[in-house]
Structure 1
């Protein structure tokens, strides 16, 4: 086993995970779109044509304009944009870690049930608008890491965040990660610099709150039908009291405490081997507290936890050691750190966090790849 560990390369596994996750996200995004999924495709088609200005409406009006100019199907226009965003995110994440020394502990973050593996565990995570913010953050952290974040690029990122707010207001609740990344790189607090990023998301938030109308003002479904998209479920049909929904399923939602607790332990163990871990721990706690309104206002608790972990994975890449080799990886030894990390990975692959409800199940990656296919085959036979 010692010989096997000597030749084990965490970086190669990370590359494989990046490729597999990107392909998986693109393939299942296509299936969601072609079947007119009302929660994924439908969310991209919220528009201003139905009643005027509203939250998330910029995307639908943008694709309507593209359709009017090109005559192409909305399904394929939306999918093309999703593919571009997904590829850009994974491309800049790849560039970020390419000349870093990978560690087994860092690999464990990607294999977390809330990390990249979360996409495999819950295909409804794919194709959603948070990939816009994932891309912006990966690009931002890469520029920071390379010391190439010019003033122009910084303003372009702020403008990207400003626009992203009109695609999905979730952008607001994860802006602290941009500030944390800046601090980790500069090692100093720059209030004026932070103010740009805060304004970029708070100005749109105020505009949306003051002037935004309902997502469906009564004509959205007929407008989409005329444009070749027929939805039978999804965001345009959503008329549920989300807080009451959570109360009615409180036992399922309490299971999120289990998955959240395990993730906290995972991050605590990771930070144990990092410099400035006290400051970073406080910053991450503050970032999570800033997102708490999401957990109160919306039922997708698993989704919010998943978004946090993706931001953390990209953020922590900034802390990895630089290397001249694209295959640089720490040599593993059979010590306590290895065995605890190994245990964390195994547990992560066993359990699953669903997007809304059932916050902890034993239907994770192992179940979905080793057991579920045989159960399906047995039913077919």
Structure 2
């Protein structure tokens, strides 16, 4: 009876709003902290530039920020954070608009509470401030236009241009482009291959140019240039000199743990799809999207990050399949049933474990550990 009473009084939509606000504030706050620390990954990744050696992957953003600093005299840390703030807060704002008039249910909420969903940001602070938020923002806005029947052919070509630029900002855009095609299929219910080609070309061309003509991230002068501009990273992307494939082989015992997290996530998404109409083709397309990203897992060590990007994009994608409601507080009432208990079990497990960006792919140091165990361990050390 107590469980039934708690469930009846639990407003899923209000909880989702709360989770969005907490996650957004957490992400923005720690991005700010990392920027002030001249972080060698989160800040420095935005400052890779063409001035040191010419054309290279991710270099467009740094050159842009250098020009802005020359024009304004403002510290690079502040300029970069201004754009990070716009992109990150823009993503959370558009996502809020996507779910605002949708009937969210307990199973959909479980996706946000996944260890590699919104909760992943709270679990693993190094997920904040990364350039994939550009992809999140573009995809969320793309889905929003689709959902509201506002995606004209002209806007599709504008998105292609934005994706072209996004690939120059970070090549990760290439590996998640299938989600844009899948979103169009989910909206129309038809496979329109000719319509999708331009999106793949938009990211494929800059990726090919980077592969053929791209220089090293640091051609020898980047750190000196940053020092002259008031940024002094002491580690990170400009110091990176690791054979990533060899690193994965040497840490195989740690990386094999990612398969535990991956299996949980596959079961989670599969269970969600079980309750959708037309799930067979959608399941195949989502598996295809994952396979399309496999080169990332081969080339780079951030396996947790690649999994997290997949889950975040699917969370946005599935808003297209939620039924519309009449109120911003509307949600699907929770019914005590086997589905409820299985979903609750998934949520509890998701809150128990953590997926690190690179290294250990599964540890029992999730939100519950960080909220209730870690503070006690810290107190005992005092």
Q: TM-score range by the shorter chain?
A: over 0.9
Unaligned runs of 5+ in 1: none
**Aligned residue runs from structure 1 range 360-375, under 5 A:** 360-375=362-377
Q: What's the CA shift string for 1:158-188, capped at 9, x where partnerless?
A: 1111100010000000000000000011111
**Aligned residue runs from structure 1 range 174-189, under 5 A:** 174-189=176-191
Unaligned runs of 5+ in 2: none
Distance 1:371 1:177 in 2: 38
Which residue does the alignment assign to 1:132? 134
Return the offset for 1:151: 2.2
Which residue does the alignment assign to 1:308? 310
Which residue does the alignment assign to 1:376? 378
Which residue does the alignment assign to 1:157? 159
Return the offset for 1:190: 1.4
TM-score by length of 2: 0.98
Q: What's the CA shift string for 1:254-285, capped at 9, x where partnerless?
A: 00010000011111111110111111110110
* 265, 271, 274: which one aligns with 2:273: 271
Return the offset for 1:115: 0.2
Which residue does the alignment assign to 1:104? 106
Return the offset for 1:192: 2.1
Distance 2:326 2:195 in 1: 31
Which residue does the alignment assign to 1:58? 60
Query: How big is the alpha-carbon RMSD for the aligned residues of Structure 1 and Structure 2?
Result: 0.8
**Aligned residue runs from structure 1 range 234-313, under 5 A:** 234-313=236-315
1:11 aligns with 2:13: yes
**Aligned residue runs from structure 1 range 77-88, under 5 A:** 77-88=79-90
1:349 aligns with 2:351: yes
Q: What's the CA shift string for 1:7-61, capped at 9, x where partnerless?
A: 2111111101110000000000001110011011010000000011100000000
* 24, 32, 35: which one aligns with 2:34: 32
Return the offset for 1:355: 0.5
Which residue does the alignment assign to 1:67? 69
Segment of structure 1 superposing worse, 320-329 or 52-61: 320-329
Return the offset for 1:369: 1.2
Return the offset for 1:377: 2.4
Which residue does the alignment assign to 2:117? 115
Distance 2:30 2:260 in 1: 28
**Aligned residue runs from structure 1 range 316-331, under 5 A:** 316-331=318-333
Aligned length: 380
Distance 1:240 1:331 in 2: 51
Distance 1:364 1:199 in 2: 39
* 161, 170, 173: which one aligns with 2:172: 170
Return the offset for 1:231: 1.1
* 225, 232, 235: which one aligns with 1:230: 232
Distance 1:227 1:377 in 2: 41
> What SS is found at the alignment partner of 1:318?
helix
Segment of structure 1 superposing worse, 23-32 or 146-155: 146-155
